[in-house]
Amino acid sequence: MDPRIHDALTRCIHAINLDNAFGYYPSDEQKAQLDALAVEVQPLIEALAAQPYTGKGLGCGYLGHRGYRTPWADMMYRLRGSRGSHGLNWKDRIEVLFDTAGLGATDMLAWTLQVEDEILRDHLLLHIAADLALEGEMARVEQEITPRLQPDMAYRADRVLLMEYARRGDADAFLRKHKKASQRQERHTLVDARNLLVEQVAAQQGIDAALRLCDEAKGFGDSYRATAMRSYADTASVQAMRAWIDAHPALFASTPGLEEELLVRAYAKGPRTDNGEDAFDELFARVDALDKSLRSGDARLRDALLLDLGMAVGPGPRRLLCRKKIGNASIKRELDNP
């Protein structure tokens, strides 16, 4: 290891342990000690940020929303110019130093177990768990990381594994872990993981396999079927999507607007292989006729689909036609380029 990084890690852990010992109300002298350590470490952060990246490329932190981790460059951007001496600043510095040095799990664990603050230690353990999962070392997460987490944080190691199984489209492994994982904490992450799994199964094995997963797996249902169909629409032509919809009418009987959403997605994202047919006029008429009470997140579905259509056709009179029909002013402005 670069001796500069070794020295910086030593200082970061010393700072965390001092902060932990000082408690919630450190004196001015104690704050000054922490600030001085931040000043000592910062030049190396600045130097590393200016050098070519040589780490593992796995990102930093918890494998959370849809498998997202903070990229090294984003973490460095956040830390450049920082003199913060709060515990989370030290955690971020340790994670970026781990990544820059390309440390393996065993070395990271040896450093992490020196951290006396239980909360920050758990966050660093989850950083290691995410690295291991991305490297396919699922058993090590369960054997070396989960047992070291505080009981009320252990479920997050399960979430790391579920997210990575989902990213790989490994439905069997996902469902085995999903069956045993807590369903109470961080429910939004479970929803993200299920959606990601369905998307990946649809992309890798086809929409029929994704729909079977939704029908057969406990915890999946109508909303996940829609996810599978959206994933398929992103890769299908309008002609293929229309044929598939016509062959599965029962799937759309109770979800008004879903047919139009899928066709617009196919038009915007799928291949244009419909023998020269341009479906814009048909899709525009169908979207314009949608019930204005239908929602897509915080917006009207109709406005959202008109925006997608307008973006898909590019600058010109068709985009302006979509813009004219949009009711929401902020969405309308997204099509201001004529």
Task: State pLDDT tens for residues 296-306.
Answer: 888 999 999 99
pLDDT at 273: 63
pLDDT digits (tens, 9 = 90+) for 146-189: 999 999 999 999 999 999 999 999 999 999 999 988 877 778 88
Asked whether 265 and 230 are in contact (CB, 8 A), the reply is: yes
Identity at 114, one-letter amino acid code: Q
pLDDT at 223: 83
Mean of the pLDDT values across residues 69-89? Answer: 88
Mean of the pLDDT values across residues 47-63? Answer: 92
Mean of the pLDDT values across residues 131-141? Answer: 97
Asked whether 233 and 241 are in contact (CB, 8 A), the reply is: yes
pLDDT at 187: 83
Mean of the pLDDT values across residues 191-196? Answer: 93
pLDDT at 270: 82
Q: Report angle CA 246, 251, 253 to the nearest 5 degrees.
A: 90
pLDDT at 118 over 80: yes
Sign of the alpha-carbon dihedral angle for 91, 109, 137, 193: negative
pLDDT at 135 over 90: yes
pLDDT at 271: 82
pLDDT at 276: 54
pLDDT at 338: 56
Lowest mean pLDDT among 31-35, 79-83, 201-205: 79-83
| pLDDT tier at 295, thresholds 50, 70, 90 | very high
Task: Please provide the distance, in angstroms rounded to a whole number, between the alpha carbons at the two ends of the chain.
Answer: 55
Strand boundaries in the chain, DSSP class E = 295-296, 299-300
Mean of the pLDDT values across residues 129-151? Answer: 96
pLDDT at 247: 94
pLDDT at 274 over 70: no
Please give the radius of gyration of the chain, using alpha carbons only, rounded to the nearest integer.
25
The single residue listed with the structure tokens 């997605």 is 265
pLDDT at 37 over 90: yes
pLDDT at 108: 98
Sign of the alpha-carbon dihedral angle for 210, 215, 217, 223: positive
pLDDT digits (tens, 9 = 90+) for 226-262: 999 999 999 999 999 999 999 999 999 889 999 999 9
pLDDT at 317: 93
Nearest CA to 69 out of 41, 46, 89, 92 is that of: 92
Separation CA 290–CA 309 (nearest Å): 14
Average pLDDT, the chain: 92
pLDDT at 319: 95
DSSP letter for 169, please. Answer: T
pLDDT at 63 over 90: no
Separation CA 234–CA 143 (nearest Å): 39
The highest-confidence range among 27-31, 66-70, 79-83, by mean pLDDT, is: 27-31
DSSP letter for 145, please. Answer: I
What is the pTM (predicted TM-score) of this model? 0.86
